[in-house]
Chain A
Amino acid sequence: MQWLPPQASTYAGDIDFMFWVILVITGIAFVVVEAALLVFLIRYRHRPGRRAHYTHGNTTAEVIWTAVPAVTMIALGIWSGRVWAEIKDRDRMPTDAFEVAIEAKQFEWTVTYPGPDGVLGTSDDFAVRNQLHVPVNRPVKIHLTAEDVIHSFFVPEFRIKQDAVPGMTIPVWFEATAMGQFEIGCAELCGLGHYRMRGVVTVHADDDLDLWLSAQTADEEAGT
């Protein structure tokens, strides 16, 4: 049995809190309904000579059990909307982020880094397969796309998931709060190798990331 994975991004806690709040609310509803069901089954079980109470309903009861769920649900909706906008609103994404581009294709993630000039989309960009290296405690913005079919970029510890769609470039951001390595999964069925479309995020301290980046650039130059 498994609970939620460890949290390793700034908004993982917000999502988990939302999850627990809903679990509590639905848990109460679940217990109330199932308990009432069981109590009624025992209390009002068939006994010879008994007759059910003849009623067609009660308007007050109907109003109450319409209004209570309605208010709860709308409140949950509004709250969820705020957390959602925080994470996915494209106009509110961090601007000072470390930017990379990821192109998903059957069955690998091609991560393009900005190269020495620090700007994506220039000639010194370099690409690495299945390995995303990012800084800790600094927002990371991914320009996510796909070459062939729909894939979905998923890092459980960061609580981030975003489909990668051919023909679209979708911005995704997160800010890692823990160093170390985390797995990238593909969450959208993308073909027979879907289950093996695994990548790795390595979260570095800033200095380490620079070292890694410059080592890659050096390799590139040596290789060509």
Chain B
Amino acid sequence: MTTAAGHGQADAGHHGLSFVRKYIFSTDHKIIGIQFLFMSLFFLLVGGLMAMMIRWQLGYPGQPLPGGGGLPETMAPGGVILPEFYNSLVTMHGTFMVFFAIMPLLVGVYANYLIPLKIGAPDMAFPRINMASFWIAFVAGLIMLAGFFVAGGHAAAGWTSYAPLSARPDLSGVHMGQVLWLVSLIVLGLSSILGALNYITTIINMRAPGMHWFRMPLSIWSLFITAILVLLAMPILSGALIMLLFDQTLGTSFFSPPEGGQPLLWQHLFWFFGHPEVYILILPAMGMVSDIIANGSRKPIFGYHSMVYAIAAIAFLGWLVWGHHMFQSGMNPMLGTTFMISTMVIAVPSAIKTFNWLGTLWRGNIRLHTPMLNALAFVSMFVIGGLSGIFMASTPVDIFIHDTYFIVAHIHYVLFGGSLFAIFAAIYFWYPKMFGRMMSERLGKVHFALTFVFYNLTFFPMHFLGMGGHMRRIYDPSEYEFMQGMQGTNTLISIAAFLLLASQAPFMWNFFWSLWKGAKAPDNPWEDNGLEWTVPSPPPHGNFAKTPTVYHGPYEFASPLVTEDYLPQSRPVPGAGGRAAS
């Protein structure tokens, strides 16, 4: 196993490595990616179970949670979820899903796994930092979980932890939980920054010969730009978190007004990070979906360059729109107008991407394999999430729908309908490469169909709740007369949500069963062009026996130069020179 790049030290003597060095404290980007996969799927399940408890309380307010009798008195005496525990659940569902499930699934798993393989590198630029990045994230996850076991309960000020509620234990009843929340995210931020540094360095320096910038797959482009966003955004979050931690523990008052603090300062800092974070959670999904849609359509991606520019435009504009989370915050309303215009503009690159995906399908030769089905679900659901965003971008409409279930519906259409379907697509697509086995297509399609149906039954009605004025984070909506008529909708949503969780059973079964019993995967099961498909499944340590040379763009499907309908990037073909992007 020889490697081309100058970090042979980390790889030296791989075969002699102990189990611990090979699979636990591994520096191999593929193992680290898989570690992130297991960790974040675990947290995805944790976040999902919390969502079920939230939905139980909303579907059947005040009734004992089935099996909830085992919960401590401070959370659910006799199984009845307490308001403070409900607030913790709402907070931690958001926190785990955003920071410990979606973000690591996209960035931790696929940036790690795909970047070296897709650019033709033997590993990351800094393998040890890469390993540290995983283990730091793991520790952050443990700290976050620990918050459930401390006096006063876990953080309960929402995943956005608006100060002063998050800064004042006397007002929230939560102290240690909030402190652990803050510490965990500070630690996680370090992990993300280390990871981002690694991805950026690797992509800039370690591309194989011929892998020009405009021959990179869109997945790599989006991961590259995402890494830049992470590198710039996470330090802002960390700074804000440290200030809040000082308010919590040292008695400073950055965010508490009696002593001169400013509650809106927290919101500005949080959303200055938070809006780029929204794109961190969607750009890699867009990139991977682009790869999969081109593959499924057997056709080059439509408008490759405008796709790249759209990603870059989103990343740039993403820094100018944070105030649209704060239209009703008391911020100067004229500032609101400015943020509204920039927000309206950021819808344009998303529209461009959507039309280009449609353009890719147009006159394709569409194979509806499981990854493709999930990628198409991404497109159709992201459209809903994107369009519903226009409602809240419009400042006057936002007056009414801000902090209602309309927002909850929107965020779930983007993060579940968007990111999570893309993640399922990516898992189904790259699973054979990761584990050397095929997942069952039949189970995959069952899982897709059930998830698609129950997902929509869960989240689409939330738009109607929001239109009725149903506020977010309400423990028992029946306290308000105007919401009492919405109980039926809430119960329906809850039932759909329980079935949505149940619909993940075929996926879990498929995932674990296939690890051992799946059919052996060939090198290139999807007949794709990426460099990762030229090496064995799973790829050996060091990835490439010989550094590949790249001759084509990543989407040469149906090329007239070859008889097959795909053309791997590293396959030399006479007459193919001079097409930079193609």
Contact = CB atoms under 8 A, between A and B. Distances in A.
Q: Are A and B in direct contact (Cβ within 8 Å)?
A: yes
Interface of A: 1-5, 11, 14-15, 18-19, 22-23, 25-26, 29-30, 33-34, 36-37, 40-41, 44-47, 50-58, 61-62, 65-66, 69-70, 73-74, 76-77, 80-81, 83-90, 106, 148-150, 152, 154, 156, 159-168, 170, 183, 185-196, 198
Contacts, number: 309
Interface in B328-382: 328-330, 332-334, 336-337, 340-341, 344-345, 347-348, 351-352, 354-356, 358-359, 361-368, 376, 379-380
B474 interface: yes
A182 to B, nearest CB: 8
Contact of B330 (A2, A165, A193): A165
16 contacts: A11-B396, A30-B387, A40-B362, A45-B366, A50-B365, A53-B362, A65-B352, A73-B347, A76-B344, A77-B394, A87-B399, A148-B164, A165-B263, A183-B480, A189-B157, A194-B474
Contacts of B41: none
Q: Would you list the 9 A-B pairs with minimal beta carbon distance, nearest first?
A: A167-B257, A2-B468, A156-B469, A53-B363, A52-B299, A57-B303, A88-B333, A26-B387, A84-B395
A88 B331 CA distance: 11
Contacts of B399: 15, 87-88, 159-161
Given A26-B388, A194-B474, A74 B558 contact: no
B536 interface: no
A14 B388 CA distance: 19
A15 B352 contact: no
B383 interface: yes
Given A2-B489, A34-B380, 8 more contacts: A15-B397, A22-B391, A37-B376, A40-B358, A54-B557, A73-B348, A77-B341, A80-B397
Contacts of B262: 167
Given A19-B400, A189-B87, A40 B366 contact: yes
A18 B394 contact: yes
Contacts of A191: 87, 156, 165, 171-173
Contacts of A37: 358, 361, 376, 379-380
Contact of A56 (B300, B336, B345, B387): B300
B336 A45 contact: no
Contacts of B351: 29, 65-66, 69
A84 B333 contact: yes
Contacts of B557: 52, 54
A18 B257 contact: no
Interface in B441-487: 461, 464-465, 467-477, 479-482, 485-486
B395 A80 contact: yes
Contact of B403 (A26, A56, A168, A188): A188
A161 B165 contact: no
B581 interface: yes
Contacts of A85: 333-334, 337
A196 B368 CA distance: 49
A204 to B, nearest CB: 19
Contacts of B256: 166
A61 to B, nearest CB: 7
Contacts of A22: 390-391, 394, 397
Given A37-B380, A165-B264, A167-B263, A185 B480 contact: yes
A61 B355 contact: yes
B362 A186 contact: no
B394 A3 contact: no
Given A74-B341, A160-B399, A1 B165 contact: no
A152 B475 CA distance: 16
B509 to A, nearest CB: 27
A122 to B, nearest CB: 25
B164 A30 contact: no
B249 interface: no
A27 to B, nearest CB: 8
Contacts of B402: 161, 187
A30 B344 CA distance: 17
A165 B397 contact: no
Nearest to A6: B482
Contacts of B298: 46, 51-52
Nearest to B172: A191
Contacts of A41: 361, 366, 368, 376
Given A26-B387, A66-B348, A81-B337, A162 B330 contact: yes
Contact of A66 (B336, B352, B565): B352
A192 B84 contact: yes
B363 A44 contact: yes
B447 to A, nearest CB: 19
Nearest to B294: A52
A86 B387 CA distance: 25
Nearest to A170: B330
A87 to B, nearest CB: 6
A61 B307 CA distance: 13
B474 to A, nearest CB: 4
Contacts of A83: 395-396
A85 B461 CA distance: 31
Contacts of A152: 328, 403
Contacts of B461: 1
B547 interface: no
Contact of B364 (A53, A69, A166): A53
Contacts of B303: 56-58, 61-62
Contact of A5 (B376, B469, B475): B469
Contacts of A50: 365
A72 to B, nearest CB: 9
A4 B328 CA distance: 19
Interface string B278-322: 000000000000000000011111111110000000000000000
Contact of A33 (B345, B383, B393, B485): B383
Contact of B475 (A81, A87, A194): A194
